[in-house]
A = this chain, B = another copy of it.
């Protein structure tokens, strides 16, 4: 899991989701009340599987010589309250954060968005770092919804998945559709997709897309 989480941070860089050290990936350790997360303030180039830290579901450091990410409390809260989630990603990716700064959800006007998010990407509350407010905001917004990503107001993106890779995919797709819908709206209003079609696309994608072993 240290290896997996370490390598996935490269996807944040490769997909231009992060500047400097502002983004992190975590993954639940299968069968244990633990998760692996990035150490705080370490540059992506310097990350190694060994430097990743292990925390319990209260966010307390269990293993590792570096301090865990300052977003650890939010990751821990999500793992504690959403047992189906095995991966969490946090970024300040540009276009998604631009929607978040206006507190506006991203409307579902692309088939790729219907596929992955099953509707709009919702906005979560403004919350300060330092206690459980961010985690609570993420869980309250995502629980029971299709979207695996939330735009935290004036802040950035939290994305979840049943694996760390799925959460990274959700973060990548969130920025991709945030950018495309933004660009589209710059010159007029995108055409809506009828809800029935959104539902059909979502159901098909969740059940048919990809190799059987990938789902």
Contact with B along A115-128 (1 / 0, CB 8 A): 00000000000101
A70 to B48 CA separation, bound complex (whole angstroms)? 36
| Complex-state Cα separation, A112 to B22, whole angstroms | 8
A197 at the interface (CB under 8 A from B): yes
Interface size on A, residues (CB 8 A): 63
Q: Mark A67-81, 1 if CB is under 8 A from B, else 0.
A: 100100000000000
**Cβ contacts under 8 Å, A214 to chain B:** 41
Q: Does A142 contact B (CB under 8 A)?
A: no
| A binding-site residues for B, Cβ under 8 Å | 15, 19-22, 39-42, 66-67, 70, 92, 94-95, 97-99, 101-104, 109-112, 126, 128-130, 153-156, 169, 172-173, 175-176, 179-191, 193, 197, 200-201, 204, 208-212, 214
